[in-house]
Amino acid sequence: MIGVLLVDDQALMRVGFRSLIDAEERMTVVGEAADGAAAVELTRRLRPDVVLMDVQMPGLDGIEATRRIAADPQLDGVRVLVLTNYGLDSYVFAALRAGASGFLLKDADPADLLSAIGVVARGDALLAPAVTRTLISEFVTRPAPADPAAGRDALTAREQEIVQLVARGLSNDELAARMVISPLTVKTHINRAMSKLHCRDRAQLVVWAYESGLVAPRHR
C-alpha cells in the first residue's frame, strides 16, 4: 500500500485528490497539510511513501518544504512529487534541485496522477515525458553549484554513458536494448552512479547530468 501525504493550500484540491487516491486500492491518503511547515512536520511524523506537494503556498512554500524533507536522513525513503499549474515553470526546476523526484501538472488526467504516484513510490523518477526534458533544458542554465562538475571523475566511462542516456529520458529497458546489456546491469550502473554522486534518486541524477555539463541542454 502506497501512503500519500497531500499538501495544498486549497481545501477543494485536497478533497479532489483524496477522493481519487483513496478510490485506488493500492494507495491511501495518510494525511493532509495546507502549508509547507505542516508538510514537513507531518512527513516526519507519518513517514508517507509519497508527498504530493503544491509549490506556491503561504508561509513556507513547497520548494523549501521539499528541501527540508530531502535533507532529512530519516526521511530517505520519502519521495516528493511536485504539482504545478504551469509546465515550464522555474519553480519546478528549483523543486527538482531541492530534492523532488518528479513533477506533474495539476490538470493532468486522473490516471496520469495515479501512475505518477506509483512511479515515484518505486523510486524510478524522474518522470520523463518530453515536457520534463524540455523543462530541464530550459532552466539548467540558471545559477548552479560552485563546482558543478565535481564528481564526474568518480564515474567510469560506462557509467557516464548511461547517465547521459538517463538524462535524455531513456528508460532502463531502452538503455538495455541500446547498449546490449540486461536491464539489471543497467540498474546496477545507475545505482552505483547515484551512490558515487550522492544523488537521492533518478531525478537528482538527471539534474546533476545537466548541471555538470555531462549533457548539454537542447535549445529549441
In tens, the pLDDT along 146-205 reads 455 567 788 999 999 999 888 877 888 888 999 999 989 998 999 899 889 888 777 778
What's the pLDDT score for residue 114? 92
What's the pLDDT score for residue 20? 94
**Cα distance between residue 64 and residue 55, in whole Å:** 9
Q: Hey, is 62 helix, strand or coil?
A: helix
**Cα distance between residue 53 and residue 100, in whole Å:** 9
pLDDT in tens, 146-161: 455 567 788 999 999 9
The CA dihedral of 56, 58, 64, 69, to the nearest 10 degrees, is: -100
128 pLDDT tier (thresholds 50, 70, 90): very low
Q: How far is CA 167 from CA 32, 136, 172, 218, in A?
A: 33, 9, 12, 12
> What phi-psi label fits residue 34: left (phi over 0), alpha (psi between -120 and 50 degrees) or beta?
alpha
CA angle 169, 78, 32 (to 5 degrees): 115
pLDDT in tens, 40-74: 999 999 999 999 999 888 899 999 999 999 999 99
Q: What is the 3-state secondary structure (H, E, C) of 72-110?
A: CHHHCCCEEEEEECCCCCHHHHHHHHHCCCEEEECCCCH
pTM (predicted TM-score): 0.71
144 pLDDT tier (thresholds 50, 70, 90): low
